Chains A and B, each alone.
Chain A
Amino acid sequence: MNEPRSERVDIDAVLAEVRERIERKRASGVYGPEVEAALRLPLPGGRPLFVEDLGDPLPALRDAIEERVEYDPRSRKPVYGRLITLARQVAIGLVRWWIAAKDERQERIDRLTLRALLDLRDRPSPGFDERLRKLETEWARYRRDVVAADLHSVYFQARFGGDEPVIRAQSERFLDLFRGRKRVVDLGSGRGTFLQLMRDNGVGAYGVDLDERMIATARERGLEVVAGDAVEHLATLAEASVDGLYARHLAEHILPGELVRVLRECRRVLAPGSPIVFVTPNPRTLSVGAHTFWMDPGHVRPIPPDLFRFYLEVEGFEGVELVTFAPTEGTALSEDVGDEAMRSNVRLLNETLFGDRDYAVIGRTPSARAT
């Protein structure tokens, strides 16, 4: 009755271990296509079990309709067998046309039912279809509205976008991280400021951007840019096919879940020991978090630096660090006060209200394990 709890078997642990083992066997080819084929071998000698057909009923229904029902009237009983056979044949002969008529009607019902079901699968009922279309349209519009996607980014960039030389100067602080790299990807490459910087320093790099005008501008400068969505683009890349990743002002434009997906993909496509840099507005500076961040309607939500660091660490990046830069210029409270305590208070207030406007979170994919 009072056996220790520790004696209980941790089934979840056993299952986790087992699943890992199966993955390893798949990877090493032990659990290959041949074994899989054996496991999927249908039960010979007839149709699949009905319980399995129920899992995929439409093809099974089609087969069932085509199936002919055989009946052998011959009896194998020793003495009366021939009599029974004869009686059966006579009975069948007498009701044949009745049975045939019923068969005929059943055949019609079966075929109509199958056709109706297939139609319903391929083309849901008009009412349902219309509601679905409406929902899809509304959802797409919501997704556009929530980031004011119709506000054209070139005009927006012209009015609110940063000064290119300034941005270039900010990017230079990451140059050393990427020096000597062969293929760095810049997600949301925009006009190509970072790509230009890379090219000027002999680093192989290309960009990905959604905006056709931005892409055109960058391409005019002779830079390599792929049109497309960042997550989708990463998904097309082979494992360890790039050796560095830079994304300026991208993370705040996507949902947290999408950001985690991006990070996960980054882990996959980056070669071991590759640097990864995300630059995003710094909401710890209140004038940014409360005001300027929202100047771009495309911003989904600010990301606190510590949260971003956590995302990277959880997704397995190493040596994660935070760097803030781009101090607020012009606006500040005067620190020219006599009282020392007051001066330090004002300084703290200045940092909190008018501190660095951007920050970068930097990490590396783990280097190849020495074995």
Chain B
Amino acid sequence: MSVPKSWRFAGKPTAVHQFHPVLAPGDAMSNHVFALRARLREWGYASDAFAVEAKPGAPDVLSYRRLFRALRPTDMLLLHFSIGHEVFDQLAKIEARRVLVYHNVTPPEFFTGLNDHSAVHARLGLRQLAGLAPRVDLAVGVSEYDSHDLGEIGFTNVATVPILIDWSTYDVEPDASVLASMTSRRTRILFVGRISPNKRQDELIRMLAYYRACIDKEAQLFLVGSFRDQPQYHARCLALRDALGLQADVTFTGPVPVAGLVAYYARASVFCSLSEHEGFGVPLLEAMRLRLPVVAYDAAAVGETLDGGGILLPRKDVAEAAEVCAAVVEDAALRERLVAAGERRVRDFASDAVAERTREVLGL
């Protein structure tokens, strides 16, 4: 990776803007955009976030249409990419220093037959990505896994910079009502992430069935995350929960503000992910940061993000996952070691260090 020659001769960019089709409060991608915007402004750059759709509560987001007028050739535009959108084709033609920030596209196979709309957009995303390769000066993967994909697709100037997380936002008082709502039962399993077929919350529900039958008959599962994007999958997960008679024991919280999130991490006994596709996996780091032991199935970028900061499951076996969670819940020494390992690992993602790395890669 290197800063393109044309940039170097022309000096620093005159402004650094960012675009993602949808920006919403609380989702990891948008948080990344906002954290980066704050840093860019700190470094003295004019910096705005643009989107096609800004969800209510997303702070200070401008319409993408303004980009076509406002952007100068010496400005830098970071195109955050996680799903296809018609607008990318237009933005790729704007005269500016174009940088693709790749958060990975969920493979369409996960949505086929379940949510045609998502499948179409995922497929579009993969097609667009190939088209963008010759049109950006630099491509940034948020994990080695993503960078490897970029290389395969045909991007030549590729760097890896992890997602920038503003850890200070987690220093809030945990939501008291959430704390109160979580019982004092022995086992409270937590997973955080949009309800989506690639994250396989259905497998977590099956895992709970095993857990209750074979380990602790009072165990509970908390699935924190928005189910708005995948109503079909959510409905089927609910049906599975009911078919297994777990109505009272699996909680779909929907999206929660950060104080609530912190409370879930604080009160849960283990974080378990059986996700089959993650481009990065911010919740893994959140759990480590908030001292919750992590057990996760090794898929896509999960192993790389975890990197010894938790227990990585080499194969998808629901019973095995449950028993590993049980070992973590019941063995205090193991728990302590995992928490320590997690804290060590999460230090690699310290806000300042990641910001510095971003600055260096973008030549700012």
By a beta-carbon cutoff of 8 Å, the part of chain A in contact with chain B is 3, 7-9, 11, 14-15, 17-19, 21-22, 25, 30-31, 34-35, 38-39, 41, 43-47, 49-51, 53-54
Give chain B residues whose Cβ lies under 8 Å from the Cβ of A17: 327
**What is the minimal beta-carbon distance from B278 to any residue of chain A, in angstroms?**
15
Bound-complex Cα distance A43 to B318 (A): 15
State the CA gap A72–B65 with chains docked (Å).
35
Contact pick for B338, options A9, A30, A46, A47, CB 8 Å:
A9
- Chain B residues near A11 (CB, 8 Å)? 311-312
Contact with A along B254-270 (1 / 0, CB 8 A): 00000000000000000
Are B334 and A18 touching (Cβ within 8 A)? Answer: no
Assuming A21-B323, A50-B109, is B311 touching A9 (CB within 8 A)?
A: yes
What A residues does B70 contact at CB under 8 A? none
Please name all residues of chain A whose beta carbon is closer than 8 Å to the beta carbon of B318 when the two chains form the complex.
39
Instruction: Say how far A1's CB is from chain B's closest CB, in angstroms.
Output: 9
CB distance from B256 to the nearest CB of A (A): 25
Contact A46 B114, CB 8 Å, known A14-B334, A35-B214, A51-B197: yes
B275-330 residues at the A interface, CB under 8 angstroms: 276, 308, 311-314, 318-320, 323-324, 327
Query: A14, B311: Cβ atoms under 8 Å?
Result: yes
Stretch from B42-50, B160-168, B205-213 that touches the partner? B205-213
Q: Are B340 and A18 in contact (CB under 8 A)?
A: no
Whether B110 and A41, one on each chain, are in contact in the complex, defined by CB atoms closer than 8 angstroms, is: no
Query: What are 18 residue pairs bridging A and B, where the CB atoms are less than 8 Å apart in the complex?
Result: A3-B344, A7-B341, A15-B314, A18-B320, A30-B214, A38-B209, A39-B209, A39-B319, A41-B243, A43-B240, A44-B240, A44-B243, A46-B114, A47-B113, A49-B110, A49-B114, A49-B197, A50-B114
Q: Tell me the minimal C-beta distance from B117 to chain A in angstroms.
A: 15
Contact of B334 among A9, A46, A49, A54 (CB under 8 A): A9
Taking CB atoms, residues of chain B closer than 8 Å to A41 are 206, 209, 240, 243-244
CA distance A30 to B341 in the complex (A): 33
Select which of A21, A35, A50 is within 8 A of B213 by beta carbon.
Answer: A35
B319 → A minimal CB distance (Å): 5
Alpha-carbon separation in the docked complex, A39 to B240 (Å) = 11
From B107, which residue of chain A is reached at the shortest CB distance? A51
Q: Does B112 contact A (CB under 8 A)?
A: yes
Asked if B239 contacts A18 (CB within 8 A), the reply is no
B236 at interface (Cβ–Cβ under 8 A)?
yes
Q: Is B237 an interface residue (CB 8 A)?
A: yes
State the CA gap A8–B307 with chains docked (Å): 11
The A interface, classified by DSSP as helix, strand, loop or mixed, is helix
Tell me the bound Cα distance from A8 to B336 in angstroms: 11
Extra 7 A-B pairs, beta carbons < 8 Å, given A44-B240, A51-B197, A53-B113: A3-B344, A7-B340, A8-B341, A18-B324, A30-B214, A45-B235, A50-B109
Q: Nearest 9 CB-CB pairs, A to B?
A: A44-B239, A50-B112, A18-B323, A45-B236, A38-B209, A35-B213, A50-B113, A45-B239, A43-B236
For B240, what are the chain A residues with a Cβ–Cβ distance below 8 Å? 41, 43-44
B41 is an interface residue with CB less than 8 A from chain A: no
> Which parts of B197-249 form the interface with A (CB within 8 Å)?
197, 202, 206, 209-210, 213-214, 232, 235-237, 239-240, 243-244
Residue of A nearest to B237 (CB): A43
**CB-contact partner of A39 in B210, B236, B340, under 8 A:** B210
- B337 CB-CB contact with A under 8 Å: yes
Which partner residue on chain A sits nearest B206 by CB separation?
Answer: A39
Q: Are B209 and A18 in contact (CB under 8 A)?
A: no
A33 to chain B, nearest CB (A): 11
Return chain A residues, CB-CB under 8 Å to B243: 41, 44
Task: Kindly identify which residue among B202, B308, B314 contacts A8, using a CB–CB cutoff of 8 Å.
Answer: B308
B110 to A50, Cβ gap below 8 A?
A: yes
Contacts of B344 in A (CB 8 A): 3
- Binary CB contact string for chain B from 125 to 148 against chain A (1 if under 8 A, 0 otherwise): 000000000000000000000000
Chain A residues whose C-beta falls within 8 Å of the C-beta of B319 in the assembled complex: 22, 31, 39
Given contacts A9-B334, A35-B213, contact A14 B236 (CB under 8 A): no
A30 proximity list for chain B (CB < 8 A): 213-214
Task: Report the minimum CB–CB distance from A50 to chain B (whole Å).
Answer: 4
> Residues of B contacting A35 with CB < 8 Å?
209-210, 213-214
Kindly list chain A residues whose C-beta atoms are within 8 Å of the C-beta of B338: 9
Q: Which residues of A are found within 8 Å of B235, using beta-carbon distances?
A: 45
> Which residues in B have their C-beta under 8 angstroms from that of A39?
206, 209-210, 318-319
Smallest CB separation, A157 vs chain B (Å): 51
Q: Report A81 CB to chain B, min CB distance, Å.
A: 21
Flag if A14 contacts B210 (CB, 8 Å). no
- A50 CA / B233 CA spacing, docked (Å): 12
**Residues on A with beta carbons closer than 8 Å to the beta carbon of B213:** 30-31, 34-35, 38
* B148 to A: closest C-beta gap in Å: 21
B244: which A residues are within 8 A, CB to CB? 38, 41
CA–CA, A25 to B213, complex, Å?
11
Query: Quick one: closest B residue to A20, CB to CB?
Result: B323
Report Cα–Cα, A51/B243, bound state, in Å. 22
A67 CB to nearest B CB, Å: 9
Contacting residues, chain B, for A3 (C-beta < 8 A): 340, 344
**Complex CA–CA separation, A14 to B311 (angstroms):** 9
B113 lies within 8 A of A54 (CB): no
Cα A10 to Cα B338 in complex, Å, equals 10
